[in-house]
Amino acid sequence: MAIKEYAKEMIASNQVFRDIAEQKETLWINDKYLPFEMVDGVCQLVVNDEDIADAERRLQKFAPYIRKCFPETVPDGGLIESPLKDIPEMKKALEETYDAEIPGRLLLKMDSHLAIAGSVKARGGIYEVLKHAEDLALQEGMITEDDNYERFADDDMKEFFGRYTVQVGSTGNLGLSIGIMSAFLGFKVKVHMSADARQWKKDMLRSKGVEVIEYDDDYSAAVLEGRRQSDLDPSSYFVDDEYSVPLFLGYAVAARRLLGQFDEKGITVDEDHPLIVYIPCGVGGAPGGVCYGLKRLFGDNVHVFFCEPTLFPSVLLGMASDRHNEVNVSDFGLTGMSAADGLACASPSGFVTRIDRNLLSGDFTVRDAILFDYMRMLKATEDVFIEPSSCAAFIAPVNIMKYDAGKAYLEKHGLDAEKLAASTQICWATGGRLVPDEIWDKYMNTYL
């Protein structure tokens, strides 16, 4: 595939983009990263603290409904939340296997095990579906804001929602999140799935009564067609992972939930105890929302890095080129299928690349083959299974102190040896709980 002229210029002028074009692992440090106080006001014009607090309140209102309908959420009172797990044995194995120094405390944020949908998409996806259901029910007088939201479990509510359709484009996990929740509420559901989507995810959706529409093209094409079809139907609502503010807000709430978990684990985040977070990234919605929520809480004391497949570094390219959603990985000659199906997005979210342009610290790329090595290592050391795409996060703590760019970033931001020793590093696991046993067996025996 021919490389675009602007991409040729970037490749010629910068080693990072030469690495990208050659499908090598690399680290890009955000050249437009700014101190949080310089961008806070502008960011709040788009998504402010009250917006995030409102999303949190809405999830609390729906907690009685979630608790009633999904018994696995009872221990958390109907909230969809995941454990924050120390992984000292994984840390030790990473250090020994890759000759790496990983200072501070290494933890796994297990959004891979979120209730209902088994991925980080359960945050934004389920939140947006619930908000849409609430909007319709209030608009048509089916509920009032003072009602107990257990009311959404009643048969007449399911009959009411059956008059409406929800549609979404997905590589897999967002489709599961939207499909499972929408179908349970009673909506008709259509999930437009790209060529990278796994068959078991399609099968699971169909078993829930969801219509799955398959494409031989990439994620962006599935989204485009899904949006077009939804626009033709006045009773249809399209969940748009590329532009959705409700999705973004659902993800941003995750940062607030960490505060209680930090208290339980005795974790302090301040100038002398930095927080470094690594998040697998596809189109950018989930990691972008989490990043934004973390920066709103911790400002310059948190450093967020995304992790993308070498074949699909779309958010990196969208930000670095400042072309945002108008960039495609094929512009850099990248083609093919990735084993990190949940991250296989050829073009990024324009919304996320703009709002996080001055907030994100950097972006790592990772080869497909090593994802399976990380997956097997996590299972062997901590007895935890997460999807190969979730394992992209492990590339970062292994390599941040190996890349010259990483060392320069740490030095520039005053993250010396003493502060790093007192740091908390979190790898954000984005999916895995719903993977069938036979697929796990296949993953465990995959060597690329």
Assign residue 332 the CATH number of its domain.
Answer: 3.40.50.1100
Out of 243, 274, 290, a domain closes at 243
SS3 37: helix
Q: Are residues 91 and 27 in the same domain?
A: yes
**Quick check: 190 and 167 in contact, CB under 8 A?**
yes
How many CA atoms lie within 13 Å of 434's alpha carbon, on the beta-carbon side?
A: 26
d(CA 180, CA 174): 10
Q: Are residues 210 and 250 in the same domain?
A: no
Q: Report the candidate in 98, 62, 95, 93 with the shortest Cα–Cα distance to residue 80.
A: 62
If asked whether residues 107 and 169 sit together in one domain, one would say: no
Same domain, 374 and 325: yes
Q: Is 86 helix (H, G, I), strand (E, B) or coil?
A: strand
Q: From CA 408, how far away is CA 414, in angstroms rounded?
A: 10
Q: Are residues 257 and 398 located together in one domain of the fold?
A: yes
Structural domain for 395, as ranges: 5-49+67-116+246-444
Q: How many domains does the chain have?
A: 2
Write out the E strands in 25-145: 27-29, 84-86, 105-110
Q: Which residues contact 22 (CB under 8 A, 6 or more apart)?
A: none
445 burial via Cβ count (<10 Å: 0-12, 13-18, 19+): exposed
Alpha helices in 302-432 (DSSP H): 314-321, 350-355, 368-382, 395-399, 404-412, 417-421
Residue position matching structure tokens 């961008």: 39
SS3 of 305, please?
A: strand
Q: Is 252 helix (H, G, I), strand (E, B) or coil?
A: helix
Tell me what pLDDT residue 1 has: 65
Do residues 276 and 421 both lie within one domain? yes
Same domain, 107 and 202: no
- Shared domain for 230 and 308, answered yes or no, is no
Residues of the chain with pLDDT under 70: 1
257, part of any domain: yes
Mark whether 32 and 80 lie in a shared domain.
yes
129 and 99 share one domain: no
Q: What are phi and psi of 59, to 5 degrees?
A: -65, -35
Name the residue among 270, 237, 309, 359 with its Cα closest to residue 24. Answer: 309
Find out whether 250 and 55 touch, Cβ atoms under 8 Å: yes
55 part of a folded domain: no
- 337: in domain: yes
Mark which of 243, 269, 297 sits at the end of a domain. Answer: 243
At which of 217, 243, 269 does a domain end? Answer: 243
Calculate the dihedral angle through the C-alpha atoms of 288, 231, 56, 163, rounding to the nearest 10 degrees: -150
* Alpha-helix runs per DSSP H in 70-165: 88-98, 121-139, 155-161
Q: Which residues contact 402 (CB under 8 A, 6 or more apart)?
A: 100
Query: Do residues 191 and 284 both lie within one domain?
Result: no
pTM of the model: 0.95
Residue 171 belongs to some domain of the structure: yes
